[in-house]
Amino acid sequence: MSEDKSSSALVLFSGGQDSTTCLAWALDRFAKVETIGFAYGQRHAIELDQRQILRAALLKNFPAWAEKLGEDHLLSLDVLAAISQSALTSEMAIAMDADGLPNTFVPGRNLIFLTFAGAVAYRRGLKHIIGGMCETDFSGYPDCRDDTIKAMQLALNLGMDRRFILDTPLMWLDKADTWRLADTLGGQKLTDLIIEETHTCYLGERGSRHAWGYGCGTCPACDLRAKGYAAWRGEPV
């Protein structure tokens, strides 16, 4: 009997909190799930090391998901760092640019990620492409907006003559809701894993352990994660 490709998914998996929650979401819903990550010269490249730690922990601690988790794909896109000057790809202070966007914005990053993910999904016969983009708690990145993702779905389907579905389960959730979703999906085992092993800090800092996980504690990504954790736990923000 042929495989039902409508029950297959490719998750954009960076090793961060959001993408790990999205991976759990996919494993809870689809029969076959693969992951894809990108090395693009990011300052916080330590997240790439965490990816395999997280995948191994999911295989070990969640037997029902283990049988669904398939191949991982890691693509090199160093050209992104070469053509963009951002605080995520170079040693510069995080600040707001004159156009109102934070200088952590890497122009075209999610558009490129989704294009390459579409190419891999095409080759692997996967239907759903899942990303952690969010328009509720975000830094103003235009490539995280719902309209952008809908446009990319249309472009991929027209350009590859497929009917991919781009799922963004976090699009309308704030960070507290993201913690809540992880707890609903995998309970304390999953939230503890997110605290201990995911990486969110823009500066690549894993020396300081906080209640919500590891990070510098001051960059925008750490601040958002900390406030979301406190709100989820019912603590003062």
Per-residue pLDDT, averaged over 31-52, amounts to 92
pLDDT at 137: 76
Closest of 117, 52, 118, 41 to residue 80, by C-alpha: 41
Residue 166, in any domain of the structure: yes
pLDDT greater than 70 at residue 153: yes
Residue 233, in any domain of the structure: no
Q: Higher confidence at residue 91 or residue 79?
A: 79
Mean pLDDT of the chain: 91
Per-residue pLDDT, averaged over 55-83, amounts to 93
For 84-97, b where at least 16 C-beta lie within 10 A, e where not — what string? bebbbbeeeebeee
pLDDT greater than 80 at residue 18: yes
pLDDT at 95: 64
Residue 223, in any domain of the structure: no
Q: What is the CATH number of the domain that holds 172?
A: 3.40.50.620
Domains held by the chain: number: 1
Residue 217, in any domain of the structure: no
pLDDT greater than 70 at residue 178: yes
CA distances from 136 to 16, 125, 141, 169 (A): 17, 31, 11, 12
pLDDT at 98: 64
Residue 91, in any domain of the structure: yes
Provide the domain limits for residue 106. Answer: 5-196
Residue 219, in any domain of the structure: no
Residue 25, in any domain of the structure: yes
Residue 165, in any domain of the structure: yes
Q: Are 168 and 181 in contact (CB under 8 A)?
A: no
